[in-house]
Structure 1
Amino acid sequence: MSDLALIMALPNESKGLFEQAGVHVHYSGIGKVNAAFKAFEVIQNTGCHTVLNLGTAGSSYFDAHSLVEVTQFVQRDMDVSPLGFAVGQTPMDTDHPAEILLEPYFQHLPVGICGTGDSFETGVPKVPCNLVDMEGYAMAKVCKKLGVRFVSVKYITDGANETAHLDWEENLLLGAQKLLSLYKTV
């Protein structure tokens, strides 16, 4: 396990259960900038070869309370389309495509495409994806650039709709319990 570092966005997502179980969690904070910085910092400070991101996501595709492994990340808020770029594509970023593909780690989980953005999504994203978060793409990109494996599993708390903010808060404890059970299988 020393080769693996666990990153979650917020202590709310672990509800203290990971710490009670003796699991060290690195918390990134909300959003892509915080997530990228934390992923870089963790990789540099720990020398890990795998970053495991556990957290929450919204989805109108997957059932609430499901665990979904993300095998592709896209940016749902990168929009430079007035300059002729596809939504989700970072202009002039020739080293990395707009989509970040990941190898599945957990064979028993459904897989999904996660759209990351610096907004709490309550509608249909501009890019094709079937779940949404606010940190994953940034961590995945840092890991790709540094040659570190990235594994991400999301607990679906809400339907990414008008009641998402209420459902997210209400479902955090069950999500933390399910994510901790999964972590114990690593």
Structure 2
Amino acid sequence: MIKINEELNFPVDDTLFVFALDSEAGKVFNDKNKLITGIGKVNAAMELSKEIHSRKPKLIVNLGSAGSKGFSKGDVVCCTKFVQRDMDVRGLGFELYETPLSGVPVVLEYGLKMENIKEGICGSGDSFEMNHSETVYNIVDMEAYPLALIAMKENIPFLCLKYISDDAGSDAADDWAVQVHLASEAFKKILFS
């Protein structure tokens, strides 16, 4: 069982574990319902949509690496809010990060809160962010926003845990390459212990 809190549990067999890269999953998830989407918002959206319709999961769990200046390397953070950080249509009178005419707020609130895990706001975009200075979100990744949006539209509970692999600063790429392999063991301790 995946225990979210005292009242909410989901069978592992009915859970879909979603990663961008196999290196984030390690060997821990080889015997689970695992989906590797590839990097970026389009790949994530396309692969999750296909998988939902074939497997019909009762819970979607997005696990992966992320950068943050507000959390420390090695922290696991539960993201319950999401921002599409590369959406900028201010030139047409829309708010920064607002998807025009979608009815979706700038900060999408759709994620389960897991007890005893720090909470964060994830900014997803199709760029590897270095020199992070934004204040609307405190974690950066490349896939969580569309995964959360699809889960919301499909009315499937969504849990998003991010392993902080780098500080989204000038050394982010080097730090990520070293840290990404540690993510799966951190997720295992939280989800299966």
TM-score band by shorter chain is over 0.9
2:117 maps to what in 1?
109
Is 1:61 matched with 2:59?
A: no
Matched length: 182
For residues 127 and 60 of structure 1, the distance between their equivalents in structure 2, rounded to whole angstroms, comes to 10
Q: 1:3 to 1:24 in 2, by over 3 A?
A: closer
Is 1:97 matched with 2:105?
A: yes
AA partner of residue 156 (structure 2): V
Question: What is the aligned-residue identity percentage?
Answer: 35
For residues 142 and 66 of structure 1, the distance between their equivalents in structure 2, rounded to whole angstroms, comes to 26
The residue correspondences of 1:15-26 to structure 2 (distance < 5 A) are 15-19=26-30, 22-26=31-35
Deviation digits for residues 133-178 of structure 1, max 9, x if unmatched? 0000010111111111111000000000111010001012222211
Secondary structure of the residue aligned to 1:17 is coil
Q: Which runs of 5+ in 1 are unaligned?
A: none
The residue correspondences of 1:1-186 to structure 2 (distance < 5 A) are 1-19=12-30, 22-94=31-103, 96-124=104-132, 126=134, 128-185=136-193
Q: Which runs of 5+ in 2 are unaligned?
A: 1-11
* Alignment TM-score, normalising by the size of structure 1: 0.92
Asked if structure 2 preserves the Cα contact closer than 8 Å seen for 1:88 and 1:127, the reply is: no
Asked if structure 1 preserves the Cα contact closer than 8 Å seen for 2:15 and 2:33, the reply is: no
Give 1:49 shift: 2.0
Q: 1:125 to 1:51 in 2, by over 3 A?
A: farther
After the TM superposition, list the runs of 4 or more consecutive aligned residues in structure 1 that deviate by more than 4 angstroms.
none
Give 1:104 shift: 3.3
Give 1:183 shift: 2.6
Give 1:87 shift: 1.0
Q: 1:125 to 1:50 in 2, by over 3 A?
A: farther
For residues 186 and 50 of structure 2, the distance between their equivalents in structure 1, rounded to whole angstroms, comes to 27
AA partner of residue 156 (structure 1): I
